[in-house]
Amino acid sequence: MMRMSKKVEYALIGLLHMSQKDHGQLTTAKELSQTYHIPPQLMGKVLQQLARRRIIRSVQGVKGGYRIHEPIYKISLTQVYDAIEGPIKIVSCIYKKNRLLCEQRSFCIIKNPMEVMQEKIEELFGQLTLEDLRKEVFQNFHQQKKVQEFRNG
C-alpha cells in the first residue's frame, strides 16, 4: 500500500499551521507538538529538515521559532515530500541505479505502467501547493461548522 509517512504528515500540519499566522509571527516545535499531539523530538527533526531545504526559516533566540520562507502558493507538495523523504518512488526499480537490483527485471511486465504511474504522481504532487491544501482544510472546516450549527438549531 502506498502511504505518506508520518513525518510528511507532520510537515504538512506544521506548514499549514504556520500559514495561518500573521506575517512575521513564529511557530515553535513545542507549540506544534502540544497543539497536534505530535512527539516533540520528531516535530523538531521535521522542522529542521524543512529549514535545511529553505521551505521554512529558523529564527534563533529565546523568542525564536520558525516561519514559512515564501508564499504558500509557491510551495508544492513535491518540495515538502522531497525535503522529508527524498524523491517520491512508487517502486524502487523506477530509478536507474536500482533497476539492476530487481529480481524481476528480465520478466517484469509492469515496468512501463509503473513508470506512467510514477510520472502521474510526480505531476500531481508538483501541481498541488500548500495553498491548495489550505483551501481544502478550511472548506471542510466551514462545512463541518455549518452542519454543527444546523444540528444545534
pTM over 0.85: no
Work out how many domains the chain is built from and give that number. Answer: 1
For 67, the 3-state DSSP assignment is: strand
According to the model, what pLDDT value does residue 71 have? 92
According to the model, what pLDDT value does residue 152 have? 62
Residue 1 lies in a domain: no
Residue 83 lies in a domain: yes
124, pLDDT greater than 90: yes
Residue 27 lies in a domain: yes
Residue 20 lies in a domain: yes
Q: Write out the three cell numbers for 144.
A: 463541518
Q: How far apart are the first and last CA of the chain?
A: 42
How far apart are alpha carbons 56 and 109 in whole angstroms? Answer: 42
Domain of residue 54, CATH code: 1.10.10.10
| pLDDT single digits (tens) 5-21 | 999 999 999 999 999 99
Residue 55 lies in a domain: yes
Residue 58 lies in a domain: yes
| pLDDT single digits (tens) 49-102 | 999 999 999 999 888 999 999 999 999 999 999 999 998 888 877 766 556 667
Choose between 152 and 106: higher pLDDT.
106
Burial of 42 (0-12, 13-18, 19+ CB in 10 A): middle
Residue 96 lies in a domain: yes
Give CA torsion, residues 84, 88, 91, 94, to 10 deg: -130
Domain limits at 118?
6-152
